[in-house]
Amino acid sequence: MTTPHPPKVAGINPPAPAPAHTSSPAVPGPPAAPEPGAPPAQGPPADAPAGPSPARVVQDRLAGWVSDLTTLQELTERLSRTAGVEDALGELLRAGASLVGAGRGLVTLHPAAAHGHPVTVGLGLGHADLGHIETLPAGGPQGSGGPYAGLLDDLPPVGDRSGTVHPDIPHDSALDPRHREVAARLGYAASYALPLESAASRGEPADPTAAGRIGGAVWLYDEPAEPDERQRHLAGLYCGYATEHLARLIELDHARQTLATLREELLPRRLPRVPGVRLAVRHHPGADGGGAWYDALPLPEGALGLAIGAVTDSGPGAIAAMGRLRASLRAYAVMEGEDPVAVLSDLELLLRLTEPHRTATALFAYCEPAERKVVVAGAGHCAPLIVGGGRVEYVDTTLSAPLGMLACWEAPSVEIEPAPGETLLFYSDGLLRRAGGSADRAFARLHRAAASVPRAARHDPEAVADHVLRAVLPKDAAGAAGGTAADDMVLLVAHFD
C-alpha cells in the first residue's frame, strides 16, 4: 500500500510521511446461522489476499499522529521566530496554505482600537486583487470586520473555531452575486476561512495577552475543493497557536509605541532659532527604549546651550531618568550656562544624591555665535567633531569619568572658535555602536563621513546630517541605513553662519 505524502511545508519536507488514516477493522464474531433453505456459506478463496492486521492499522495511525505533530512543531517554531506582526501574518498564511492545500490566501487583523490599526497581508494576491476583494459586501455580524469583512462575513460565532468552507463558489447560489463575480475575476473557485480567536473569547483561563477575536484568515483554491477533516483539524490547531502569538506581538508593539511616545514627549519638540547658528537633529530610538537624549535651548544675551547625553540601562526607568536629567540640566544651564563645568558638576551632584545606583554621560556646550566662541565640557561622553573647509577633527574635551562614578566630578573645559561656515557634530555612542566594528573603526568611519560631505551641502545642517548617517550606518537589504536597532542614536548638527 502506497501512503500519500503531505505537501511540503514552507520549504520543509516533513521527516515522516503521513500514512492514510484507515478505520479500525470490525472484530470477527461467531458466524450467523444460515436461514432455512439458504445455500451454505462459502468461505474466501484460498488465494485471496488477507486484509491489514489490527497491529498494522494501529501502527499506521500512530505514524500519522507523529507526522502531524512533527509538522505542527516545525510550523510553530517558524512562527515563534517572527518578531513583527506583518512577518507573523505572512508566515501564518504560508503555513496555513500548506496545511489545507491552497495556493493563495488573505489574513486581516483588527486589534482593539487602543492596540493598533488594522493590518491585511495577502499571499499570491496583488494590490489590485486586494482592491477587488475589498468591494465584497458584508452582510452578517459574525465576520472579522474591517475592509475585507465580505470575504470573512460568514465565520462562525465567537467560540466556534470550525471555520467556513465554500467548496464550489461559481455554483453556490447562496453567495452574493458580487462574490461570485470577484471570484471569477481573480480565478479562485473555493475558499476556506478560519477565525483568529484568542483564549479569552473561548471562555478559557484569562491571559494578559488575550484579545478575543482579532481577525480572520481565508485560503483560496483555483479549482472547486475543500480541506478534509484532518487538514481542518491541523489548520485549526495551528491558527489557535498563531492567534496567541499575534496577540503577544500586538501587546509588545503597543508597549513599544507607548514607550516611544513618552520618550519623544521628553525631548525637544522643535529646535530653537538663534541668530548665527542653524541646527538639525536626527534621533532614532532603539528597540530596547534606551536613555539617550539631546537638548538645545536659547540662553540670555543671544547665547545657545547644546547638550547631549545618555543614561545607563534601558526601558521605562531609563527614559524617566533621562527626562529628569534633561530638565535639571536646563535649569542649571539657565543659571550658570557660561560655565559648562559648573553645569555638569551640579548635575553630577544631583544624580549622586537622588539616584546613587545610576550613571550617565553628558556633554554641554555654551555657544556665543556673535563672539564666535563655544565652550565645551564633557563627562564620559564622545568628543564632538568640527567640520570645515580646512579641517575635520575631533575636539579634545579631555578624558573624564561619567556622572555618578566618582565622589566629586570635575573636568576642565575646552574653548573652540568655529570659523564662518564650519559645523559642529554632537552624537551619541549609540551612533558608533550602530556603525559596527571596534570603537576606533567607528570613530574613523564617522571622521571619513564628515570629511566626505559634498561642498554644496556643507552649509545646510539637514543635508550634513543625512549624508553622515548614510555614510556611517551599514546598509540593510533594501539599501537603507540600518545598524543595531537596540541602541538609541542621536546626531545633533550646529552650523555657524
Which residues partner with 363 through β-bridges?
308, 378
Q: Please write the tens of the pLDDT for every residue from 44-87.
A: 555 555 667 888 888 888 888 888 889 899 999 999 999 888 99
Mean confidence (pLDDT) of the chain? 81
Give the residue, 488 or 296, on which the prediction is more confident: 296
State the Cα–Cα distance between residues 397 and 200, nearest whole angstrom.
58
Cα pseudo-dihedral 131, 137, 138, 140, rounded to 10: -150
Name which of 8-17, 93-102, 173-182, 223-232 the model is least confident about: 8-17
Residue 244 has pLDDT above 80, yes or no: yes
φ, ψ for residue 271 (rounded to 5)?
Answer: -90, 140
Q: What percent of the chain has pLDDT over 70?
A: 79
Which of 174-188, 193-207, 314-328, 414-428 tops mean pLDDT?
414-428
State the Cα–Cα distance between residues 196 and 423, nearest whole angstrom.
54
CATH class of 57-257: alpha beta
Give the residue, 205 or 220, on which the prediction is more confident: 220
Q: In this predicted structure, what is the pLDDT of residue 490?
A: 93
Give the residue, 141 or 256, on which the prediction is more confident: 256
Give the residue, 412 or 153, on which the prediction is more confident: 412
Q: In this predicted structure, what is the pLDDT of residue 48?
A: 53
Domain boundaries along the sequence of the chain: 57-257, 268-496
State the Cα–Cα distance between residues 4 and 186, nearest whole angstrom.
30
Residue 204 has pLDDT above 80, yes or no: no
Report whether 186 contacts 132 (CB < 8 A): yes
Q: Please write the tens of the pLDDT for every residue from 135-188.
A: 887 654 444 445 555 677 677 777 666 788 999 999 988 888 888 999 999 999
Please give the CATH topology (third level) of the domain spanning 268-496: Phosphatase 2c; domain 1 (3.60.40)
Mutual orientation of helices 85-100 and 229-265 as an angle, nearest 10°?
180
Regarding pTM above 0.75, the answer is no
Residue 393 has pLDDT above 60, yes or no: yes
Q: In this predicted structure, what is the pLDDT of residue 205?
A: 44
Q: In this predicted structure, what is the pLDDT of residue 26?
A: 43
Which of 49-58, 94-103, 153-162, 252-261 tops mean pLDDT?
94-103
State the Cα–Cα distance between residues 329 and 365, nearest whole angstrom.
12
Residue 10 has pLDDT above 50, yes or no: no
Q: Please write the tens of the pLDDT for every residue from 112-142.
A: 655 567 888 999 999 898 888 888 876 544 4
Q: In this predicted structure, what is the pLDDT of residue 199?
A: 64
State the Cα–Cα distance between residues 250 and 209, nearest whole angstrom.
8
Residue 318 has pLDDT above 60, yes or no: yes
Residue 27 has pLDDT above 80, yes or no: no
Q: Please write the tens of the pLDDT for every residue from 430-468.
A: 899 888 888 899 999 999 999 999 988 999 999 999 999
Report whether 360 contacts 320 (CB < 8 A): no
φ, ψ for residue 330 (rounded to 5)?
Answer: -60, -40
367 contact partners, CB below 8 Å, separation of at least 6 = 274, 277, 303, 304, 305, 306, 373, 374, 494
The stretch 256-278 carries a mean pLDDT of: 86
Q: Please write the tens of the pLDDT for every residue from 343-374.
A: 999 999 898 888 888 899 999 999 999 998 99
